[in-house]
Amino acid sequence: MEGREQTSIENVARQVGEDWTVAQPDMISALKKALQSAGEWANKEGRKIVLNEAALYALHQKDPYKARAFIQALASSASGGMIVMVWKMLEGAEIETLELTYEDRSKFHMRICLTLGNEREHYETDDINDAALIRHLGILKINDQPRFEGFYPLHLK
């Protein structure tokens, strides 16, 4: 049982300094539900990843900084597809396109195309709460050309 507790989403969140995401039992349940939803979405869409607490723990062991970014994403988005997109970015996928449509009190739609090698994957959402994920992107210019690069944890303290 001790090994199971060590690999739990709650333990990983605490170890990466995101205690606020697991401060209440309902918050822990919400993170677990978001992770489960992402795993189910990936399976349904035929994406070649496994998302569960063991995978999150393995990410934490490999790169706590990335695990922190992922925990923050789980806490801000309940969209399975968007969580999968974040995971893929943490694995090295790059944003090829990001399209955002917003009309006040009427419409929100975000579509992101990721590339990893020769593979191209599209992710879409109509949930405005997913716009919070944009603030995790590295935003820069290279030779005066716009670029989104990487997915990073926020310093929320």
Q: Hey, which residues does 96 pair with through a beta bridge?
A: none
Phi, psi (5° rounding) for residue 125?
Answer: -150, 150
Does residue 100 sit within a domain?
A: yes
Does residue 157 sit within a domain?
A: no
Mean pLDDT for 35-44 is 95
Which domain does 126 fall in, by range?
2-151
Does residue 49 sit within a domain?
A: yes
Distances from the Cα of 14 to the Cα of 29, 45, 53, 74, 89, angstroms: 15, 31, 14, 14, 23
Does residue 156 sit within a domain?
A: no
Domain count along the chain: 1
Confirm whether pTM is higher than 0.75: yes
Does residue 39 sit within a domain?
A: yes
Distance CA 153, CA 67 (A): 9
Q: Is residue 4's pLDDT more than 90?
A: no
pLDDT of residue 6: 63
Distance CA 9, CA 33 (A): 11
Mean pLDDT for 26-44 is 94
Question: What share of the chain has pLDDT > 70, as a percent?
Answer: 94
